Amino acid sequence: MKDIFENEMKLEFISKSSNEAFARVTVAAFVAQLDPTIEELADIKTAVSEAVTNCIIHGYENKQGIVKIVGHLKENEVILEISDNGKGIENVDIAKEPLYTTKPNLERSGMGFTIMESFMDTLDVESIVGLGTKITMSKRIKPKIENEENEFQMITKD
């Protein structure tokens, strides 16, 4: 049975570094419907940046290709699929290790997957060498009542 989503978006763009900011802003505008906090929105934007940058730098290397983002809103959760049809990842488990990088000459720290995992609630990486990679990640947006209660508790503790 197919999931029923409250809303869905699809975005495709050329794997140019300048499109990374476009992806962040577009996803942020889509997620804004859930009324996230500034911190929740920043977490999602950072995770999207990391995933898109991985597609551009590692998936396509010095070639041009298409990066795809599919976003779903379901209740108070955002589910994002970011994919490429690039070279794929030989060993996802090794690639997810902190500080692992195949591009030591670049100013990248090899923390992309670690950052995605820490800012999102779930992260799944599927990859087939020669066919590409799909990253699926999700984040639950706390309802406003929870956020207000937490803020009130923080204020009253001071």
Task: State the Cα–Cα distance between residues 70 and 158, nearest whole angstrom.
Answer: 42
Q: Is residue 7 annotated as a catalytic residue, yes or no?
A: no
Residues 76, 77, 108, 126: which is the catalytic one? Answer: 108
Residues 20, 50, 81, 117: which is the catalytic one? Answer: 50
Q: Is residue 50 annotated as a catalytic residue, yes or no?
A: yes
- Contacts for 132 with CB less than 8 Å, ≥ 6 apart: 59, 83, 84, 85, 86, 87, 88
Q: Is residue 91 annotated as a catalytic residue, yes or no?
A: no
Residues 54, 81, 85, 117: which is the catalytic one? Answer: 54
Task: State the Cα–Cα distance between residues 5 and 24, nearest whole angstrom.
Answer: 21
The SS3 of residue 60 is coil
Active site amino acids: 50, 54, 108
